[in-house]
Chain A
Amino acid sequence: MSFTVFATAIISAMLINNVILMQFLGICPFLGVSKKSSSAVGMSAAVLFVMVIASAVTYTIYDLVLYPFDIPYISTIAFILVIASLVQFVEMVIKKFSKPLYKSLGIYLPLITTNCAILGVSEGNITGIWTETMPYWEGLFTAVSVSVGTGLGFGLIIFAFSSIREKLDGSNVPASWKGVPISLVVAGIMSLAFLGLAGII
């Protein structure tokens, strides 16, 4: 457990293996909640918040329950249920104890239940980080670092994309390209640009 592991995991998950542009996960909120920058920021914050908690919980469940009982094949369905329950709990706790946080994140939390990026990161932590011999705390630290990087990467891309879309709304775009077509072209170009970062680490 060191700062180097933390920094490498964050940079790698944020820029090189970006969840949206390189792994093509979380495309639904990427296209659906990127019309306004303010919504994009709220959604990113909610995703980062839930992603970190979900990664820690799913990693723990896999390491302490699913693997010891020799039932790792139910990990996907177990993780879906864990994430769905977690979102409900987080929403309830925020509703009850933190009104300002609920005001900014509240309406985005139910959307996260169906965000495949959360499930993708949880599954990725098991296939990419977890090993039989790795100490629990070390694996948990790496998994949380990766989820922080992934959440930040999600936020970076969705915010950049929403800013471009806001600019495009005021631009003279041909009628047939207006709306979703030009947005998809922009997303494709962004993905190509991020491909240039592959191999840095």
Chain B
Amino acid sequence: MGGFLIPVLVIGGLVIVYILSYALNKNTPIPEECLEIVDSTKCESCHSFTCTYKK
């Protein structure tokens, strides 16, 4: 049981850390000076679902 529980806890903890970091990053506003860079970003080749610029 212990041999199964520890890896599950470690991976579960890391998943929670990831979800928190993603939510925090998504809620952090982009600086006004940088908005035009983000608008000109063309997402043609990268299909990363973690991308915060994806509309």
Q: Are A and B bound to each other? A: yes
Query: Do A111 and B11 have beta carbons less than 8 Å apart?
Result: no
**From A102, which residue of chain B is reached at the shortest CB distance?**
B34
Query: Do B15 and A91 have beta carbons less than 8 Å apart?
Result: no
Query: Do A103 and B46 have beta carbons less than 8 Å apart?
Result: no
**From B27, which residue of chain A is reached at the shortest CB distance?**
A92
- A19-53, CB under 8 A of B: which get 1 and which 0? 00000000010001000000000000000000000
What is the CA–CA distance of A66 and B8 in the complex, to the nearest angstrom?
12
Q: Main secondary structure on chain A at its contact with chain B?
A: helix
User: Which of the four size classes fits the interface of chain B?
Assistant: 20 to 34
CB of A106 closer than 8 Å to a CB of B: yes
Query: Do B25 and A91 have beta carbons less than 8 Å apart?
Result: yes
What is the CA–CA distance of A126 and B41 in the complex, to the nearest angstrom?
36
Where the two chains meet, the residues of B that have a C-beta atom closer than 8 Å to any C-beta of A are 3, 6-7, 10-11, 14-15, 17-18, 21-22, 24-25, 28-31, 33-34, 37-38, 41, 45-46, 48, 50-53
Where the two chains meet, the residues of A that have a C-beta atom closer than 8 Å to any C-beta of B are 28, 32, 65-66, 69-71, 73-74, 77-78, 81-82, 84-89, 91-92, 95-96, 99, 102-103, 106-107, 110-111, 113-114
A-B contact pairs, 8 of them (CB 8 A): A32-B46, A73-B7, A85-B22, A88-B24, A88-B25, A95-B28, A111-B46, A114-B48
